[in-house]
Amino acid sequence: MNIQFISHLISNIGCSAMIAFFFIKIDRANIIIKSNAKTKKDIVALSFFFSLLSISGTYIGLNFNGAILNTRNVGVIAGGILGGPYVSIITGLVAGLHRVFVNLGRETAIPCAIATITGGFLTAYVHRFIKRKDRVFFGFLLAFIVENLSMGLILIILKNKILAQNIVKSFYIPMVFMNSIGASVLILIVENIIQKSEIVAGNQAKLALEIANKTLPHFRETENLSEVCKIIAEDLGAKATVITNKKEIIAGFSFDKDEIKKADIKSNNTRKVLKTGEAMLVIKEDDEIIEDFLDISPHIKSCIILPLKEKNDISGTLKIFLTLLKKLQIKIDI
């Protein structure tokens, strides 16, 4: 095992992790990654970023006997798991085709390109089965599979079998294990940053409840209540907010709808909060249909339902609809 190779890959993975760290710190990037209903612009933006990450993994690679010791597949796998199937396929194609035409490591260009493109399609296919809590594990597993595929293709495609064996012998452990760990680390960093942002959102939700309970007695007109909903949504970065009394929706605001109309309460979750006085978090998994989310926005992934009180009596609820995919770590004690 060549220590220099491992050291080089660790350095490259560190650079990729640092770039990803600063990228996910951008508010818009954070929102896009968390959203499960990405627009075409979102897909293009993520594909562009992870393609650059993958291509840079080729350029900063170490040339050895006509092969490149690189971290290209880390960007493809991480991009696919975090960004979705379209991002995975596009990134794999861009990084793979770039590998064919770049004037580096010509001996292994074709097998490496095939492995990268295959990795993009494989991650896209597997993505539908990956739960968020399993992303780090699948990052390791998929990178492990793709790097092994790359080594196998080098042995099969290269005509110079002695050269192929020398490349695989030198590259196998550094490339397979370090890139598998690298993909996991990259995903873990992004997930941790997203989780922290969700905790902040949860604390903001608690503050919103405190404000709502103090101000609602002074704003009985529907127009004023709708304005309160708008302010709360904007401050929390929520997709929509709704206020109900004990029987019906009395006001609301949504960034995706012109108007949220008055309607009877149909949600059993809302009824439960009205009865118990305890806050509730509703999480939408994949294509699950939840009555709380109907007619609000297709982008909603979670909803915080908070009890509103007047003189210690429950008078209604405040519902905050978010695009967050992970359970918020909040404790509400009002």
Tell me the CATH number for domain 1-197.
1.10.1760.20
CA–CA separation, 133 vs 143, rounded Å? Answer: 17
Which pTM value belongs to this model? Answer: 0.66
The percentage of the chain sitting over the pLDDT mark of 90, rounded to a whole number, equals 40
- Segment 270-284, tens digit of pLDDT: 999 999 988 887 776
CA angle 174, 179, 183 (to 5 degrees): 160
Give the pLDDT band of residue 47 (cuts 50, 70, 90).
very high
Give the pLDDT band of residue 236 (cuts 50, 70, 90).
confident
90 within 8 A of 119, measured Cβ to Cβ = no
Judged by average pLDDT, the poorest of 19-28, 102-111, 170-179, 208-217 is: 208-217
Domain 219-322: give its CATH architecture. Answer: 2-Layer Sandwich (3.30)
Q: Of 167-176, 197-206, 322-331, where does the model show the most confidence?
A: 167-176
Task: Give residue 58's pLDDT.
Answer: 92
- Segment 68-88, tens digit of pLDDT: 999 999 999 999 999 999 999
CA–CA separation, 308 vs 330, rounded Å? Answer: 17
Of 239 and 178, the one with more pLDDT: 178
Structure-token pair, residue 41? 């612009």
Is the pLDDT at 301 greater than 80? The verdict is: no
Reference 252, options 284, 297, 192; nearest CA is 297
Task: Give residue 94's pLDDT.
Answer: 97
Of 169 and 257, the one with more pLDDT: 169
Average pLDDT, the chain: 84
Q: Which amino acid is at 84?
A: G
CA–CA separation, 68 vs 8, rounded Å? Answer: 12
The average pLDDT across 132-143 equals 94
The average pLDDT across 46-54 equals 95
Q: At what angle do helices 3-24 and 179-215 cross, to 10 degrees?
A: 20
The average pLDDT across 48-60 equals 94
Could you tell me the residue ranges of all domains in the chain? Answer: 1-197, 219-322
CA angle 154, 159, 160 (to 5 degrees): 90
SS3 track for the chain: CCHHHHHHHHHHHHHHHHHHHHHHCCHHHHHHHHCCCCCHHHHHHHHHHHHHHHHHHHHCCEEECCEEECCHHHHHHHHHHHHCHHHHHHHHHHHHHHHHHCCCCHHHHHHHHHHHHHHHHHHHHHHCCCCHHHHHHHHHHHHHHHHHHHHHHHHHHCCCHHHHHHHHHHHHHHHHHHHHHHHHHHHHHHHHHHHHHHHHHHHHHHHHHHHHHHHHHHCCCHHHHHHHHHHHHHHHCCCEEEEECCCEEEEEEECCCCCCCCEECCCHHHHHHHHHCCCEEEECCCCCCCHHHCCCCCCCCEEEEEEEEECCEEEEEEEEEECCCCCCCCCCCC
Of 215 and 258, the one with more pLDDT: 258
Task: Give residue 254's pLDDT.
Answer: 86
Is the pLDDT at 251 greater than 50? The verdict is: yes
